Amino acid sequence: MSDPRPKIILQAHATRSAVALTLMLHGRDRSSRELKKPFGPLIAGAVLAVVIMVAFYIASRLGSIPKR
């Protein structure tokens, strides 16, 4: 018969990896409520986009003013 130790070692490594991945994905730091709240970053991104658009508009208007 072959030695079962390498197979047991590989199975133990796979189990530890699966447990570590599960803890990373479903740990106590992140709850389902926190994952379902994208509105803060969404609003911040929209405000930033509006500010950038207004800045470009003002810059283009200042660029079209004839200089004396």
Reduced to 3 states (helix: H, G, I; strand: E, B; else coil), residue 30 is coil
What pLDDT does 51 receive? Answer: 97
Q: Which of 60, 56, 36 is nearest to 48 (CA)?
A: 56
What pLDDT does 68 receive? Answer: 65
Confidence of residue 46 (pLDDT cuts 50, 70, 90): very high
Whether this model's pTM surpasses 0.75: no
Q: Which of 47, 65, 67 is nearest to 55 (CA)?
A: 47
The H or E element containing residue 41 is helix 39-63
Per domain, the residue ranges of the chain are 5-63
Residue predicted with more confidence, 58 or 26: 58
The H or E element containing residue 6 is helix 5-26
37, pLDDT greater than 80: no
What pLDDT does 47 receive? Answer: 97
CA atoms in the 13 A half-sphere facing the CB of 48: 6
